Amino acid sequence: MSTNVCFLNSNNGSGLLAFGGMDILVVDQVNSLDKIDVFIEERPNKFIFMCLSYDLKNQIEILKSENRDSTSFPDLVLWCPDFVFDIYGESCNMLQGDGSKKEYDFAKDFINSTKSVVNKKIKISFEPQISKDLYIRKVNSLKEHIQAGDIYEINFCQEFIAKNINKKDIEGCYTNLNNITKAPFSSYFKFGDFEIFCGSPERFIEKKGNILKAQPIKGTAKRGRNISEDLLLKSALKNDPKERAENIMIVDLMRNDLSKIAKKGSVNVNELCEVYTYKTVHQMVSTISCELRGGQSFTDIVKATFPMGSMTGAPKIRAMQLIEQYEDFKRGLYSGSIGYLSPNGDFDLNVVIRTLIYNSITRTLSCAVGSAITIQADAEREYAECGIKVQKILDGISG
């Protein structure tokens, strides 16, 4: 297999597959976001694929990341591949590069390999990195911050790690995970020592022409056993005051973020607390859009909106300070973004959740999960929710 591969899979029969070439910028610790615009400007009319780590926040605000780092994932990856294919059903159409039969065969073989579940004999064992007692104490401490008016909501996460994992142990991980989640912002990214298996249902931000669109998710319910149970669960989610309050807080935050780069009066809430149904869950999604003010670079948009509010909380800066204080791991790519920039300057970026990150040098596999903590949150229930999220991922990769 080619050294670098990225597959962005919308699970509706379409996707983008990139591979080949070493035109890649990997920055372990970013000291200037200007590197992003420079990389883009030096490659006009090209597709660029990217990983933006959560820790880019330290260049956007006066923040730090000093917690335990189990993945050693870089702050920034920008890659201009030799070959990009548009995948639609059974057809592969080359968008970038001058490929021969060899490249078309690679593309078709890769896509086929992502369709058949791999039966795994090896069971990967993940260990929580925080005890239940400590987790509950921390959630209750965060609720005290909310009670005091310090924050309204915070996304509090924990990490699960599997150690001594060989490359053969993770064969089929993406296919199996994707088969379970069938998520619209699913992705596989392999470069250097890293492999990422992402089953994300959430878009961070999309640009088409001069229109920006953000689609935060807050609020989740399981799928029912039949149509009538599904309808009841959807209705309960749509009308749940706690879930709606969480969602609306993040909508307000995203409206504020977009207003920094929008034409005056153009920020719009297109959908508020709509329930979307995916293979394993119902999700409450809101859509906020704006018309982009002239002269905004890719980095200007990132500075205004990143990290996404659904993974921080509100107010955003104070929430990020408390995340650093109360979480015990460096998030890295988790709650960052994977996506692509088109030759015409349009882009689409996801939210990195429901994701496994593998480092072949340290032979570790990391899976982080979290939930939104509000004043109504019950620490025991939040802990259980994290366990359910991790178990779904584990069930997924085992085929």
For 294-346, write each residue's pLDDT tens digit: 999 999 999 999 999 999 999 999 999 999 999 999 999 999 999 999 999 99
pLDDT tens digit string along 2-35? 579 999 999 999 999 999 999 999 999 999 999 9
Q: 7, 58 in Cβ contact below 8 A?
A: no
**pLDDT at 1 (0 to 100):** 47
Q: Which fold has domain 5-397?
A: Anthranilate synthase (3.60.120)
In tens, the pLDDT along 264-308 reads 999 999 999 999 998 878 999 999 999 999 999 999 999 999 999
Identify the burial level of 152 via C-beta atoms within 10 angstroms of its C-beta, where 0-12 means exposed, 13-18 middle and 19 or more buried.
buried
Question: Smallest Cα–Cα separation from 335: which of 347, 343, 319, 207?
Answer: 319
* Cα 321 to Cα 72: distance, rounded to the nearest angstrom: 21
Question: 194 by DSSP, 3-state: which?
Answer: strand
- Burial of 73 from C-beta contacts in 10 A (0-12 / 13-18 / 19+): buried
CB 355 within 8 Å of CB 367: yes
Tens digit of each residue's pLDDT (9 = 90 or more) over 43-94:
999 999 999 999 999 999 999 999 999 999 999 999 999 999 999 988 899 9
Q: Quote the pLDDT of residue 281.
A: 83
Quote the pLDDT of residue 228: 94
35's tokens:
């590197």
- Is the predicted pLDDT of residue 371 greater than 60, yes or no? yes
What is the reported pTM?
Answer: 0.95
Measure the CA–CA gap between 3 and 88, rounded to whole angstroms. 24
Instruction: Name the strand (E) or helix (H) holding 67.
Output: none
